[in-house]
Amino acid sequence: MTYLVFGIVAIVCAILLAYTLTPPVRVLAFKIGAVDVPLDGRRVHKKPIPRIGGFAIYLSFTVTTLLFCDYSRDLVTIWIGGGALVCLGIIDDIFRINAWIKLLVQLVVSVLAVLNGCVIDYINLGGSYIDLGFFAIPLSVLWIAGLTNAINFIDGLDGLACGISAISSLSLFTVVLLHGDYVSALICGILFGSCFGFLPFNLNPARIFMGDTGALFLGYTLAVLSVNGVFKLHAVLSFLVPLVIFALPIFDAAFAIFRRLLARKSPFAADRGHIHHRLIDMGFTQKESVKILYAICGILGLVAVFCTEGMFEETRIIKTVAILVIAILIFIINFMILKNPLSRKHSGIIEDDMTIEDYIKELDPEQVKKLEEHNGGVIEIPADTESVLNDDEETDQD
């Protein structure tokens, strides 16, 4: 019970620190010129927005872990490696560093993490332990650097990367907690709190961006935590758990690199081909697109939790498949609803500013008559309602 209260206090501390540190970091961003000014057609925001918000997340995480966690190799790795990436991100958010130089720094930091013990020595696949041997080091470096970039790649809409990092942290927290790793669970909980405290400033319309400062730090931290907290779990499906949790950013990054290489462009050349851009192009708003991707990430996290055997034992595979099938069906239904502008308003997923006149315009005369009978009043149909109804009928006939 004491440890539970201790953990809750730590998470609340991280939330409050991130929330209260964001305003001064925003002021600092304007002072040093770390501001994103949308001068190209790729960006979806329309006004200058500061972009070193990830510094608040890093400070919140570091201070809280210093106060509540015992020193460990994982934490030292995150403090030092994450700090280096935060510095890199701040410089990039001000001056714009060449993408290949950034990749080189990420690889160096990933190698340092591996040298400090953050290594995927083996994988547990179907109950069989596979020793990676010589490939352990390059695969570990690839995983850390790859996930670091994946979170950075998906950082394209207000609140998207931060929210996905928060959901992923919560998924990791649940998985390691179920396996009794309270140390890793506390760190994951603090990372979740740091993201959650920053989100109010980052959700659409965003008042500050994480920038590379936050995306690189979060990706790196999640990668380190997943190596020692999940990959090495003594569970039959432990190899699949981190892949499922981070499936969305990994798929988006892999598809982006493949798409750009196929077009004979640099894998780091910015474009509008990401999943979130495609949702925007389909007619969804920023808020709707982010909610859809949050839901997908949350479902994948839930599937990862069902993959663990500590909670569900022999029935885990059946329940995992069941939740995945149910989730896909619900997602398809909601996707079809959201594609239609009218049903999108009725769904409640977006802010509903429908007036009485708007609703009446959707009804035919018979429905208006029934509405009057049920509500005990007479509805005055706006002058343009009949023309709108006639236009809709003509459109249907066409």
All residues at 6 or more sequence positions from 282 whose CB lies less than 8 Å from its CB, including other chains: 339
273: phi then psi, degrees, rounded to nearest 5? -105, 5
- Pick the closest to residue 335 from 283, 387, 257, 270 (CA basis): 283
Determine the pLDDT at residue 222.
94
pLDDT of residue 137: 92
What six digits make up the tokens of 75? 């934490």
Give the span between the Cα atoms of 192 and 184, in whole angstroms. Answer: 12
Task: Tell me how far apart the alpha carbons of residues 39 and 49 are, in angstroms, rounded to a whole number.
Answer: 12
Segment 28-57, tens digit of pLDDT: 999 888 888 765 555 555 678 888 999 999
- What mean pLDDT is predicted for residues 298-324? 70
pLDDT digits (tens, 9 = 90+) for 74-129: 899 999 999 999 999 999 888 888 888 999 999 999 999 999 888 888 776 666 77
Share of the chain above pLDDT 70, in %: 79
Under the banding of pLDDT at 50, 70 and 90, the label for residue 396 is very low
Q: If pLDDT is split at 50, 70 and 90, which confidence band does 330 have?
A: confident
pLDDT of residue 84: 95
> Residue 209 is encoded by which pair of tokens?
């961006």
What is the residue type of 365? P
| pLDDT at residue 389, rounded to an integer | 42
